[in-house]
Structure 1
């Protein structure tokens, strides 16, 4: 993950330095750059390093706290919110299986059964055990197109009778019916850095923020760029403009000429015309219409972090199923109506 230093803030951009810093830190906290539980630099230390006012840094830390990304400890400073503490992973039933798994692996080794074969046996057996309770899941995305892809990437860890409804954050803000559906769902999934915002819209719902990382396809496309390429990096949200250059450079360190802008910037067309390749953040796909034929143009797409799926989502779903099964023991399970994709 890219580092945040004096070169991270571009004071020549028509975007406030506080906005840039918030985008940088919220991105790093949400997409894996800062380990959870890590103590952030003090306000004065970070302000001095970046060459900005301490009050600006303090305001950014407050925004991060309000977004649920950091916790402030009196006299100690700001700390990245711990997934383990936040979601109680250590207390989930899956943690108690670790010793049993170790015993099973040891027994398989004594019988001459490889770990690969053991995995295949477990997978085959699990396919024969249809879950007794399907879950109603809502996924809150920022943009509908990428959201459909994210839901598809979540499907492998879901049960066949789980039902997922996709809604956009904008539609959730303005549609009471979607807020009702989300509140009644067994769980609402969204991005880690949007969890507090979604929870505020549906305070009675069970909301779980998931960590996302740059997709394999994105990393490969960036690594394959010619070192001489002049890149135009375009974001949809103005507040995330400062993350574009370090995000691209993380996987294309051999490319030095990276120019950043955002979708509604007045110089967008000029920047694109001066570059040999265009990389755009999710939501800014209309940029492709401005690119000349033959010029490489692709999305900087993210994907669910496999570690978050296995260590956070799967245990939560298992816990929900067990609770739902226990609640249905006194009566027949009701049918769950099929729902379509809500449009923003």
Structure 2
């Protein structure tokens, strides 16, 4: 059985006061929980029955949400064992090492069958290692593929600080990719959000490997939320309805002193009236345009996320080095991305 705390967190986060159907909320809680690292790979999710009993949603609603998340590759079902957050790439490299060992043993067997002296085989291996050392020094080109332009640029800048000198990471949005606005050679690696990984793989069409990193609320966001006046009337605005289910408890976590928090979707025609009765607006990244058009009050707080530095250090950077050295292959760049 999954942890009682996880089941309780999901059930309590389903908020009937939000202007979002419970099915959309449940999908958002899991999808963005994975993207933000709150639901790490391998975590067992509650069963349909457990969710229905704890939250009061219809079992078929939970079934439909789980099926959609499975199609997206975010969760997996193990017959007789339950439903789990999909595993990311292995970090220890044991599978790659086993494959290398198998290739070496096969090559030695072939050399022996062909009566090739072991000294000659050793010379070939040493030459290959030398070429690999040359590759280890080559600069790497990464692509940060995101949803909103300014946020994607900020994500790329944050990751760039942790890359080796000479390595670059270029920001690009999905819209820019679809419109053909990104020119140049295929990158060595594409980085994206966990809930957008399947979309990124489809966009790349096999021209480069795709990986995901988790995100967390920025330090500035946490500080601004903690400083909200306890008596302030606070409202949340998001472009994506499903994100409100995770955003509201997230804001409460950093501003537990605020009693009442309302929420609305950015394209709701009632947005101007909603903003007019608030003291503080907290908006999800991407809702800036809607707020400006609706006349949001000054001092709105962006609920901005940044790449989790631990995920970058423990998952992304080792993968970059593995691709650089050739230990992990990348798809050949057959053509430039146009």
TM superposition score category, shorter chain reference: 0.7 to 0.9
Which residue matches 2:243?
240
TM-score w.r.t. length of structure 2:
0.77
Q: Is the 8 Å Cα contact of residues 244 and 260 (structure 1) preserved in structure 2?
A: no
Which residue matches 2:272?
269
Q: Is the 8 Å Cα contact of residues 20 and 241 (structure 1) preserved in structure 2?
A: yes
TM superposition shift of 1:288: 4.5
CA distance in 1, matches of 2:262, 2:19: 14
How many residues align structurally?
289
Instruction: Tell me the C-alpha RMSD between the 2 structures.
Output: 3.1
Does 2:225 align with 1:222? yes
- Structure 2: state its 5+ residue gaps: 98-134, 331-335
- Deviations along 1:237-295, one digit per CA (max 9) or x if unpaired, are 122222221121011111111010111012211221111100100000121552234xx
Which residue matches 1:198?
200
Which residue matches 1:323?
326
Q: In terms of Rg, which structure is larger?
A: 2
* 3-state SS, counterpart of residue 50 of structure 2: helix
- Deviations along 1:166-189, one digit per CA (max 9) or x if unpaired, are 2111222343x74x857x321011
Q: Please identify, of 161-170 and 212-221, the stretch whose mean Cα deviation from structure 2 is larger.
A: 161-170
- Structure 1: state its 5+ residue gaps: 96-129, 328-336
Does 2:45 align with 1:45? no
Runs of 4+ in 1 over 6 A off after TM superposition: none
Q: Is the 8 Å Cα contact of residues 92 and 319 (structure 1) preserved in structure 2?
A: no
The correspondence for 2:23, drawn from 14, 18, 26, is 18
TM superposition shift of 1:155: 1.0
- Deviations along 1:82-136, one digit per CA (max 9) or x if unpaired, are 3xxx31101179x9xxxxxxxxxxxxxxxxxxxxxxxxxxxxxxxxxx9620112
The correspondence for 1:309, drawn from 301, 307, 312, is 312
TM-score w.r.t. length of structure 1:
0.76
Q: Is the 8 Å Cα contact of residues 188 and 206 (structure 1) preserved in structure 2?
A: yes
Does 2:170 align with 1:165? yes
CA distance in 2, matches of 1:161, 1:6: 47
* 3-state SS, counterpart of residue 261 of structure 1: strand
CA distance in 1, matches of 2:69, 2:81: 16
